[in-house]
Amino acid sequence: MFKKGKWLVLALCLTTALCACTDTDGTTGGAVPGGEPPEGQAETQYDYQLKAGEPTEVYDVTFDQMVTVTVDPDSTRDGANELRSDIFFDNCSFDGGLTVVGDYHAMISLGSGCSFGEGSVVTYRATSSAAAREVTLEDNLVKLFVACEGVDVETESAIGVLTDGPDIVLNGTAYSKSDLAPDADFLGIYSIYEGDTMTYLKLAIGEDDSAEILD
């Protein structure tokens, strides 16, 4: 059964005005956009190392190579909300894709001004096999909040993908809020393992933090 929590309120805060932001036009722990990647990091030009409890905002950047977001290990399965990893992108173009790496308690938000190039996808992977297969809805999952069009998510791990309107694609299946939850504030699609099989739960979510599992 889905357990209500405080993550939705925090998600809404991310889409409006984040506080304590850092690095609005660069990377945290990686290369400067347009510059040379650090030694040993040739395949990842843009690398954001998140710090738990320190929200990050990124605006107006065109990423011509893969962007990697790494969740702080202090964002734990049962951690307090103030120890969550948060990053908010807006008016950013992801021409080389976006990869999110981490196990628990992170919110990655894509504002309405973001866009993805042809063939560019969001990939999520857990850092441990236990997190990939043993996370439940009652745990602090990694969540991707989508307010822009054309987001295609690929994962073999448990994750929550939320949208306030735009259609989303998760592991090859398209989900439409207007079809599945037209009267709700948000549609959430959660990938969860049951044994060795990944299942997908659809939730209609309200601004009051209510949630209803859809058929």
Per-residue confidence (pLDDT) for residue 209, from 0 to 100: 80
Round the CA-based radius of gyration of the chain to a whole number and report it: 16
Q: Can you give the three-state secondary structure of 50-65, one letter per residue?
A: CECCECEEEECCEECC
* pLDDT mean over 14-36: 39
Residue 215's pLDDT band (boundaries 50, 70, 90)?
confident
The tens digit of pLDDT for each residue in 149-175 reads: 999 999 999 999 999 999 999 999 999
Q: Is the CB of residue 113 less than 8 Å from the CB of residue 52? A: no
What is the number of domains present in the chain?
1
Q: How far apart are CA 46 and CA 210, in angstroms?
A: 36
pLDDT tops 50 at residue 34: no
pLDDT of residue 21: 37
Residue 24 counted as domain residue: yes
Residue 112 confidence (pLDDT): 98
Evaluated on CA atoms 72, 78, 79, 85, the torsion sign reads positive
In a domain, 66, yes or no: yes
What pLDDT sits at residue 1? 37
Token duo for residue 53: 């409890």
* pLDDT of res. 192: 94
With a CB cutoff of 8 Å and minimum separation 6, the contacts of 203 are 2, 181, 187, 188, 189, 190, 211, 212, 213, 214
Q: Is residue 2 part of a domain?
A: no
pLDDT at 176: 98
Q: What is the pLDDT of residue 45?
A: 66
Tell whether 130 is covered by a domain. yes
For residue 1, is it within any domain? Answer: no
Give percent above pLDDT 70 in the chain.
79
Please indicate, yes or no, if residue 73 is contained in any of the structural domains: yes
- Mean pLDDT within 132-159: 95
Whole-prediction pTM value? 0.81
Which residue range is the domain that position 174 belongs to?
A: 7-213
State the pLDDT at residue 66. Answer: 95
